[in-house]
Structure 1
Amino acid sequence: MSFTTSDVNDWTRSDIYHNSFLISPDATLDSTLKLSEQNGLPPYAVSAAQGKFLYLLAKSIQAHRILEVGTLGGYSTIWFAKALPPDGEIITCEISEHYAKVAQQNIDHAGLTSRVKILLGPAIDTLSRLHSDETFDLAFIDADKQSNVDYFIQAKRLVRNQGVIIVDNVVRSGRVADPIQSDPSIDGVRRLLQYIQNDSTVEATTMGTVGEKGYDGFLFAINKPR
């Protein structure tokens, strides 16, 4: 079997093709991206295919409470909220007041206000104030990569036994694995991998992804029973 070199144009075309069969058009999600762009938010939201994956993951474990670190414009938040039962809840942490305001507009427009609570401020402070007796089924970490280990430790504390923790952007076009490369985000991912290697309380793996967002990947971890 021979393979040809591909690039982001091929990956984007593939995403569009597969999405045309598997993801129904959603005006609410489209407007979320549009309003975020109009308000100057960076284009860091997950792709539609990734959003659908997160939605299906939450549905598959029958998640009732979800924790998100990094709200941005609320795109992934809305995907998660759609997966919750009517009395479910997603708590999402955002440091930027501007981002949080745009996200709240998007969440309200999606009719999901009752399922989403945005907590404004540095996420590590917000997480440390959450009580571990109110456990979450799933945590999604997609914020500043320098703080990955701190966020992960808090997520472990707050996610139930056998609950899921997802960390986004852990491959970074393969640069994390390149010893010549170094920047705060790359080093933050490396510290997380080193931390998990010596952590007997979780099981984890990284799944590389390619698509319209380029070459990156998720870290998928499960809390072991304690």
Structure 2
Amino acid sequence: MNAAAKNSPRTGSLPASLAYAEAFVAESEPSRVARRKASGLGLASISGGVAAALTLLTKTLSAKAVVEIGTGTGVSGLALFAGMVADGVLTSIDSESENQAAAREAFSEAAVPSRRIRLIAGQALNVLPKLSDGAYDVVFVNGDPLEYVEYVAQAERLLRPGGLLLLHHALWEGKVADEQNSDDEPLIVREALEAVQDSGLFTAALLPVGDGLLVAVRD
């Protein structure tokens, strides 16, 4: 074995290590219930690793005002609330009222005060332009992947300096990294990632947690 091989990272046990990392932070009971409801509705939830990352990042930022695109049944909202300050408000947008009803139940189960919850039913691209410029600490994107480029443009406007853009499904089932893959979802997600890089407004990192999480700080 040459010196380079000796000093290179060991990758043989990587899948097991990733599974260990994903399960490292225990999930709350309200989150488990919300995850089961999502499964019953045929919805995919963020992974445990992504949930832990959302909580960590919002807590590090002492986030008070957060926008979420894609409420789902509340799994990601619970993770965001767990890191936000005690009086922080989550504005969450989803086109499906059934999803938001389930999310509201999850938030109630977790004893989140109603004054901290702002659920808006509607199309994200119709709602986002109505939100205030530079008023948000975090924008979490987990909506329609075919609208990701537009979501990035809205996040540029909505985030305060130092705020975070968190873009879920940033690796889209492992297909984003394959530049020969021209399917709609990985293609648009790839364009969204390039938009972040090319904007000159963000300092970004792409984390291989869950289905991929882009973390970008608004400069």
Checking the alignment, whether the CA contact within 8 Å between 2:152 and 2:195 is kept in structure 1 is: no
Q: Aligned-pair distance for 1:168?
A: 0.9
Secondary structure (helix, strand or coil) at the match of 1:176 reads coil
- Give yes or no for the alignment of 1:132 onto 2:140: no
How do 1:82-161 and structure 2 match up within 5 A? 82-112=82-112, 113-132=114-133, 135-161=135-161
- Give yes or no for the alignment of 1:223 onto 2:218: yes
Higher relative contact order (Cα pairs below 8 Å, separated by 6+ residues): 1
- Structure 2 CA distance, aligned partners of 1:53 and 1:132? 25
- Structure 1 CA distance, aligned partners of 2:69 and 2:189? 15
Secondary structure (helix, strand or coil) at the match of 2:212 reads strand
CA 1:179 to 1:82, structure 2 compared with 1: closer, same or farther past 3 Å? Answer: closer
Q: What RMSD in Å do the two structures reach over aligned CA positions?
A: 2.1
Please, what TM-score do these two structures have when normalized by structure 2?
0.86
- Structure 1 CA distance, aligned partners of 2:138 and 2:187? 25
- Give yes or no for the alignment of 1:33 onto 2:35: yes
- Structure 2 CA distance, aligned partners of 1:102 and 1:163? 28
- Structure 2 CA distance, aligned partners of 1:188 and 1:152? 12
What is the count of residue pairs matched by the alignment? 210
Gaps of 5+ in 1: none
Of the structure 1 ranges 122-131 and 177-186, higher mean CA displacement relative to structure 2 is found in 177-186
Q: Deviations over 1:47-94 (max 9, x none)?
A: 222212211111111111111111111101011112222321010110
Q: Aligned-pair distance for 1:104?
A: 1.5
Matched residue, 1:190 = 190
Q: How many percent of aligned residue pairs carry the same amino acid?
A: 22
Checking the alignment, whether the CA contact within 8 Å between 1:207 and 1:220 is kept in structure 2 is: yes
Q: Aligned-pair distance for 1:5?
A: 6.5
Q: Residue 86 of structure 2 aligns to which amino acid in structure 1?
A: P
1:14 equivalent among 4, 16, 20: 20
Secondary structure (helix, strand or coil) at the match of 1:132 reads coil
- Structure 1 CA distance, aligned partners of 2:179 and 2:86? 47
Secondary structure (helix, strand or coil) at the match of 1:85 reads coil
Please, what TM-score do these two structures have when normalized by structure 1?
0.84
Q: Residue 200 of structure 1 aligns to which amino acid in structure 2?
A: G
Checking the alignment, whether the CA contact within 8 Å between 1:94 and 1:122 is kept in structure 2 is: yes
